[in-house]
Structure 1
Amino acid sequence: MRTGLLIAAVSLSLCGTTVFACGDREAISLASRLFAKHRLFYAQETPGLKKIVSPAFYQALKGHYRCGEKEGGICHLDYEPWLGAQDGEVGAPVKYAVTARSADGVSVSMSYAFVLEPGTPKKAQTVVLQLQKAAEPQCWLVDDLVTPIGDSLAKSYRGKP
């Protein structure tokens, strides 16, 4: 009888509590949204970008944008970070997966077929997005993009052009 009352009391106390869970699904959703809606974030600020990137990464991006305006374009990288190349396209299929976890973040890989020109052989490539935990109600913030050739966008943008 007491056990039943205890379970009922605990159940009632939890009814008003929101359960907040951030997992792989939310991390992959953010990575997919960054590519789909903010693909050019590395060169220009896109609407809503500030809400999905970490404050430190946002500051690095803002510095890069200012440099680009001042220098008339190229500042830190001379290639598209998603591709690790100046030319080409992200080809299908695009697949996302959580590849690493830590106490304060996750790494999400975005694997795709790199297409230099239509009709040429495709090359498998992977970009890694580093996500850090965010305050509720958000789960994750993008903290870095590591290009297919291994360059950290955050580190590059914090350095001198």
Structure 2
Amino acid sequence: MLNLTQKQALVEELRGSFQKAAILILTDYKGLTVEQVNDLRRKLKEVGVEYRVVKNTLLRRAVQETDMAAAQDHFTGPTAVALGYDDPVAVAKVLCEFAKTNDKLAVKAGVMAGKLMDRDRITALSKLPSREELLAKLLGTMNAVPTSFVRVLNGIPAKLVYALAAIKEQKEAA
């Protein structure tokens, strides 16, 4: 049991985490074994996500005056909080993939940019390409423009060389 001072410190720590987080996803972990929860924590940690189990009353206090306040109606039953700081898609992907193989884990709701998301929206978010994939596509697109431009510029002298070679062959034949 935590005493009052420890609870206040935990609420302040959580509030700071909520303010820094890009996405918050609430899950119901009831029925998962300790090994399964540890496996989920390890997978989430690999993508830079914090996964915590906290009492709902402390969560309600911590979420007040933050962008994540929209989630407070979903703090019921056993609740674990996944906080993503960088890539919201990665958080949703890991949780949805884990939920597919472990039917005991249920995604309740989430909040991103102050907007409440239901389970369907989180699933849709998990199907988007990751930040790295999007950046790679953008880089490929940006790289294709100058490459194509150089090919076009290179084509003009090449056509001139082909034309001169054809004229030379024509004159040699005559």
**TM-score above 0.5:** no
Higher strand share: 1
Q: Which has the higher contact order (CA 8 A, sep 6+)?
A: 2
Give TM class, smaller chain: under 0.3
Q: Give me the TM-score of the superposition, normalised by structure 2.
A: 0.23
TM-score under structure 1 normalisation? 0.25
